[in-house]
């Protein structure tokens, strides 16, 4: 295959348009950030669904990374390399011979980026650059995991949703560094002919999410006897997707996506924060008003909404977890059953929020 050509176009030219066919069949992949929330869920997904694939997890184990997230997976399927994506020498050792890099590693929390942007520049921008250079040198396929936040926000009454054509307009230090990293991927694709795809996904929920994020913070607050905390007027809208559906979408794009293309991932899950909080309170037997209003996030994006029709149409993907109430109930259950997992991070996370008036 001519590696400069999009896989789907070549496939069509061969007279075969079966969307279920995987056109790229990796055997050895590197998953960066595979000890974080979404990366580790992807590693579980690959181990459970693709028995021929070996995964090397490259993770720095920052405050957000936890080796427990991939503990118990078979040692002959998953190897953990503890290290930094900015470490070019380390990349030189592990990248040759792998078929693809799926890049999840990032500093990922908006509130942290407002308090201290520096690590976001380094990991999200410089780290992506280092991975792109390693892929260029060793001719490795690269998938870039990004966020809908690169598009900025929408008004609550705007009928529009984000599409692959929406102009970039990031609001926070976090989203601006993710936008910058997407731009690097596009430039390396066009200039060097790298075989890349980009996905921009909406807000994920599910097991293994750090207690600094909205849904786990509120669930674990209630479990600790602390009141949930709602920013601003609580009307900000997020488009929720279960992390397992994000994993299946990334796999579809990695194996069937056209090189050089961007795909938006979303599951039609728009909800405002107060409705999500009410669902958590109700699901945990608390009164609807049993929470605190706290200081709003500076520059707080109002609404995110994803139109994922390109991904569904071109690659035949669809989400499995379409019942948010059920997904939330099983997430609450997971945090109830895994207190030893989240407890060590809880106190310091709440202390940080308290110092910020949140």
Active site residues: 148-149, 174
Of residues 314, 259, 309, 310, the one with CA closest to residue 18: 314
Q: Is the dihedral of CA 83, 87, 93, 96 positive or negative?
A: positive
Decide: helix, strand or coil at residue 319. Answer: coil
Of residues 198, 199, 206, 152, the one with CA closest to residue 174: 152
Q: By CB under 6 A, what part of segment 120-139 binds ligand NAD?
A: 123, 127
Burial, 175: exposed, middle or buried (Cβ in 10 Å; 0-12, 13-18, 19+)? buried
The residue range among 85-93, 187-195, 213-221, 331-339 that interacts with ligand TDX, by the rule CB under 6 A, is: 213-221
Taking CA atoms, 233 is separated from 34, 53, 242, 302, in Å, by: 35, 46, 25, 10
Instruction: Work out what residue 352 binds among ligand NAD, ligand TDX, none; the CB cut-off runs from 5 to 8 Å by kind.
Output: none
* Packed helices 214-224 and 339-355: angle between N→C axes, nearest 10 degrees: 100
Burial, 199: exposed, middle or buried (Cβ in 10 Å; 0-12, 13-18, 19+)? buried
The residue range among 14-22, 101-109, 163-171, 283-291 that interacts with ligand NAD, by the rule CB under 6 A, is: 101-109
Q: How far is the CB of 191 from ligand TDX (least distance, A)?
A: 27
The residue range among 44-52, 63-71, 94-102, 226-234 that interacts with ligand TDX, by the rule CB under 6 A, is: 226-234
Chosen residue from 231, 268, 283, 318 binding ligand TDX by CB under 6 A: 231
> Applying CB under 6 A, does 104 fall inside the site for ligand NAD?
yes
Instruction: Work out what residue 210 binds among ligand NAD, ligand TDX, none; the CB cut-off runs from 5 to 8 Å by kind.
Output: ligand NAD
| Tokens found for residue 352 | 């940080």
Q: How far is the CB of 183 from ligand NAD (least distance, A)?
A: 15
Per-residue binding letters, 17-46, with ligand NAD (x by CB under 6 A): ---------------xx-xxxxx-------
Using CB under 6 A as the binding criterion, the count of chain residues that bind ligand NAD stands at 31
CB within 8 Å of 189: residues ≥ 6 apart = 196, 259, 260
> Applying CB under 6 A, does 105 fall inside the site for ligand NAD?
yes
- Residues in the site for ligand NAD, rule: CB under 6 A? 32-33, 35-39, 58-62, 64-65, 84-86, 104-108, 123, 127, 145, 147, 178, 201, 203-204, 210
- Residues in the site for ligand TDX, rule: CB under 6 A? 108-110, 147, 149, 203, 213-214, 217, 229-231, 236, 238, 273, 297
């Amino acid at each position: 295959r001519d590696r400069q050509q999009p896989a789907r176009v070549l496939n069509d030219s061969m007279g075969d348009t079966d969307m279920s066919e995987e056109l790229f069949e990796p055997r050895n992949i590197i998953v960066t950030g595979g000890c974080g929330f979404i990366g580790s869920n992807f590693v579980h997904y690959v181990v459970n669904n693709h028995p021929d694939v070996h995964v090397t997890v490259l993770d720095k184990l920052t405050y957000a990374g936890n080796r427990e997230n991939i503990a118990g997976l078979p040692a002959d399927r998953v190897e953990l390399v503890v290290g930094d994506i900015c470490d070019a020498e380390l990349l030189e050792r592990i990248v040759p011979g792998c078929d693809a890099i799926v890049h999840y590693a990032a500093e990922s929390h908006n509130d942290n980026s407002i308090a201290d942007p520096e690590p976001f520049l380094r990991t999200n921008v410089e780290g992506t650059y280092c991975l792109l250079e390693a892929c260029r040198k060793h001719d490795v396929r690269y998938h870039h995991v990004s966020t809908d936040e690169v598009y900025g926000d929408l008004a609550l009454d705007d009928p529009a949703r984000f599409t692959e054509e929406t102009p970039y307009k990031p609001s926070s230090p976090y989203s601006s560094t993710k936008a910058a990293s997407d731009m690097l991927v596009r430039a390396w694709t066009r200039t060097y002919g790298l075989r890349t795809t980009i996905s921009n996904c909406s807000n994920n929920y599910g097991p293994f999410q750090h207690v600094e994020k909205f849904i786990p913070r509120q669930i674990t607050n209630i479990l600790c006897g602390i009141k949930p905390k709602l920013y601003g007027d609580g009307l900000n809208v997020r488009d929720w997707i279960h992390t397992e559906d994000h994993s299946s979408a990334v796999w579809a794009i990695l194996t069937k996506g056209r090189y050089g293309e961007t795909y938006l991932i979303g599951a039609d899950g728009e909800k405002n924060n107060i409705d999500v909080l009410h669902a958590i309170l109700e699901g945990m037997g608390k009164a609807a008003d049993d929470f605190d209003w706290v200081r709003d996030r500076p520059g707080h994006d109002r609404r995110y909404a994803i139109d994922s029709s390109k991904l569904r149409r071109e690659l035949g993907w669809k989400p499995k977890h379409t019942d948010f109430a059920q997904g939330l109930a099983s997430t609450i259950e997971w945090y109830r059953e895994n207190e030893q997992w989240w407890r060590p991070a809880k106190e310091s996370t709440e202390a940080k929020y308290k110092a910020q008036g949140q």
